[in-house]
Amino acid sequence: MTDIKNELKIAAELTEKELSRLLPESDPDYPVIFEAVRYSAMAGGKRIRPFITLKVCEMLGGDVSAALPYAAAVEMIHCYSLIHDDLPCMDNDDLRRGKPTSHKVYGEAMALLAGDALLTHAFGAAASNPVLSSEINLTAVKLLSERAGCHGMIGGQVLDMIGEETPHSYEMLLKMHEKKTGALIRLSAELGALAAGCRSGSSFDAAVKYAESIGLAFQVIDDILDADGDEAILGKPVGTDRREGKTTFLSFMSIYEAHRRAELLTFEAKNAIKDIENNEVLVALADYLLVRKS
């Protein structure tokens, strides 16, 4: 039986070591930006995305060392998006993972630049993967750009903003999630497959389907926890979606139905990879994300 929490912990440590290796070294004439970059990138978190990259790579017969630079690159993109999302002109959040947000510590201008820097260096990290060929690294760079760009994560952010003005239809809610968080989770799986030398075919498609399904399940659970979670465990106030009049899964179904939906998505995720050997850790991740309380 997989000890998923321990697996997550081990992978997070590997990812953090790789991040530390790949983030730019400081310049004594202007250390502040390098500090700001590390403040956000080394701030912990579950490191779910790099975990997926590493474990998809292993499941498909690749070596973790080949996946690590890609895992770090995905995490840099994720961290950049959090810094920019937290800015006053976006969500205006003061806290992130229990710590003051970047702009609270370094000011808005430096936080803006720290986000820009993480995005910029993510591409350098993926391009410089020393284990893989130029061709594979170039494919990774193209995928990063596509999934993080206007048809991926940025598009999802825009749809989220549009949804604050005009309530989304259910179809548009799905599209928003597919892009806002789904695109990067999908990218995590794609880069893991790529690192294992798998660029297409049924195993690649299975990894993508797995990622799409757990990504959406993650969002459904998020909406349930916001409505029905335990503030003490969650670490943030509940009921904010409702107070802000946000369209969520619970705008279209009951908590019970939403839970059934998350269960179905988790089943679909596990089902997608059921015929692949060494799928235990990813199966355990899907189950873990379903029952999470925070």
Q: Which residues of 262-287 are buried (b: 16+ CB within 10 A; e: fewer)?
A: beebbebbbebbeebeebebbbbbbb
- Number of residues assigned to the chain: 294
Q: Which residues of 65-89 are buried (b: 16+ CB within 10 A; e: fewer)?
A: ebbbbbbbbbbbbbbbbbbbbbbee
The tokens describing 90, both together, are 């976006």
Cβ proximity to its own copies, 2 vs 120, nearer residue: 120
The H or E element containing residue 95 is strand 95-96
Cβ proximity to its own copies, 158 vs 227, nearer residue: 158
Cβ proximity to its own copies, 37 vs 286, nearer residue: 37
The tokens 């790789």 sit on which residue?
18
CB of 24 to its own copies, least distance (A): 4
CB of 224 to its own copies, least distance (A): 26
Footprint on this chain of its own copies (rule: CB under 8 A): 24, 27, 29-30, 32-34, 37, 80, 84, 87-90, 107-110, 112-113, 115-117, 119-121, 123-124, 127-128, 133-135, 137-138, 141-142, 144-146, 148-151, 154-155, 157-159, 161-162, 172, 175
CB of 154 to its own copies, least distance (A): 5
227: number of Cβ within 10 Å = 17
CB of 151 to its own copies, least distance (A): 6
Cβ proximity to its own copies, 137 vs 181, nearer residue: 137
Cβ proximity to its own copies, 7 vs 160, nearer residue: 160
On whether the CB atoms of residues 94 and 100 are closer than 8 A, the answer is: yes
CB of 84 to its own copies, least distance (A): 6
